[in-house]
Amino acid sequence: MSLSNPYAATVAMLFAAISWGSLFLVGKPVLSRLDPIWFTAVRYLLAGVGMTLLVVVFGERPWAKLRAHWGTLTGYGVLGYGFFGILVLEGLKLSLPSHGAVLMATMPMTTLLLRWLLDGQRPGIAVAGAAVLALSGVILVSGVLGRTDGPPHMLLGDALTLLGTVGWVLYTRGAAKVPDLSPLEYTGLTAIAALPWQVAFALVATAGGWIAAPAWTDVTPVVPHLVYIAAVPTVAAVVAFNFGVRQLGASRGTLFLNGVPVSALLMSVALGQHPAMQEWIGAALVIAALTLSTRSPTAASGKAEVKAGAMAGAGGRCPAT
């Protein structure tokens, strides 16, 4: 299958969504032992090994590109890996998982809004309709409607999660600023550039008494979880996601993020849980939305978005972020 085939991009996006859905289940016991800041730092320390190997083996002069784009790669790496990862985990500590699923699903809408406000590109009817349909499905999957109970700081947690998702949207848009980097290089080099800042932030937060340093006895029971999270949802899924965005465009690509809570739902079924009927209806709506987004006549607009972003980056005139 050709790498330029949109079906290859679709498979890559579905893989990313399923992998990130598994992160919620596999990461839960880790979060009970590690603070989100240290969780994020350890996660990318481990993932950094795999990403470094990938860019060395498959990249083209990766260290020269890292030096040439150091500031850009560091900024977007901190947004996409540190800012997003920490705030989403902190938000989940204060709120409900169902709320987090709904807020994750707002990223396609945020992407469309930013392109409209910052780039002046009005979304097509089919893509905008698919985003609304997918968001409706995720709301049903989450079971958030009709819920009156919740933790005392739920609204604060939801606000932190929502703010964190903006970081990932900006990270996704940032790929257009370095069009000479492949999806794999953008994935790996942004993670490598951001890693020292993530570790430094964890150390400063610990020294300041804001968080506690993890004890070895806390880490050892969840080492298999951390290895899986570093290898699959962190390295493989992000490479697949950035490849899909490069092929489909940010607006269409981020629609697949709606598959994250749906994949988590299906995994919970495999673990013996029994979803309600509204959750199955919601999953069906999300699948319909993804089908609409990949089969709609606006596919050419997604390619045009990628081409325009690449031309803007090559000419020194990049989209505002």
pLDDT at 267: 73
Is 319 inside a domain boundary? no
Is 1 inside a domain boundary? no
Three-state secondary structure string covering the chain: CCCCCHHHHHHHHHHHHHHHHHHHHHHHHHHCCCCHHHHHHHHHHHHHHHHHHHHHHHCCCHHHHHHHCHHHHHHHHHHHHHHHHHHHHHHHHHCCHHHHHHHHCCHHHHHHHHHHHHHCCCCCHHHHHHHHHHHHHHHHHHCCCCCCCCCCCHHHHHHHHHHHHHHHHHHHHHHHHCCCCCHHHHHHHHHHHHHHHHHHHHHHHHHCCCCCCCCHHHHHHHHHHHHHHHHHHHHHHHHHHHHHHHHHCHHHHHHHHHHHHHHHHHHHHHCCCCCCHHHHHHHHHHHHHHHHHHHCCCHHHHHHHHHHHHHHHHCCCCCCC
- Greatest CA span in the chain, whole angstroms? 55
pTM: 0.72
Is 263 inside a domain boundary? yes
Is 321 inside a domain boundary? no
Q: What is the mean pLDDT of residues 77-85?
A: 93
Confidence band of 2 (pLDDT split at 50, 70, 90):
very low
288: CB partners within 8 A, 6+ apart: 133, 137
pLDDT at 215: 86
Residue 5 structure tokens: 């085939």
316 pLDDT more than 50: no
Question: What are the pLDDT digits (tens) for 119-173?
Answer: 787 777 877 787 788 778 777 766 666 555 556 777 788 788 888 988 988 998 8
Nearest C-alpha neighbor of 321 from the set 15, 75, 106: 75
303 pLDDT more than 60: no
Tell me how far CA of residue 2 lies from CA of 131, 193, 236, 247, 251, in angstroms.
Answer: 27, 30, 19, 12, 22
The residue that leads in pLDDT, 114 or 193, is: 193
pLDDT at 271: 65
Which range (10-24, 199-213, 244-258) has the least confidence?
A: 244-258
The residue range of the domain holding 200 is 6-312
242, 80 contact by CB (below 8 A): no
How many CA atoms lie within 13 Å of 37's alpha carbon, on the beta-carbon side?
A: 16
- Tally of domains in the chain: 1
pLDDT at 268: 66
Is 317 inside a domain boundary? no
Is 206 inside a domain boundary? yes
Is 318 inside a domain boundary? no
Tell me how far CA of residue 182 lies from CA of 56, 76, 303, in angstroms.
Answer: 13, 15, 16
Q: Rounded distance, CA 263 to CA 64, Å?
A: 38
Is 320 inside a domain boundary? no
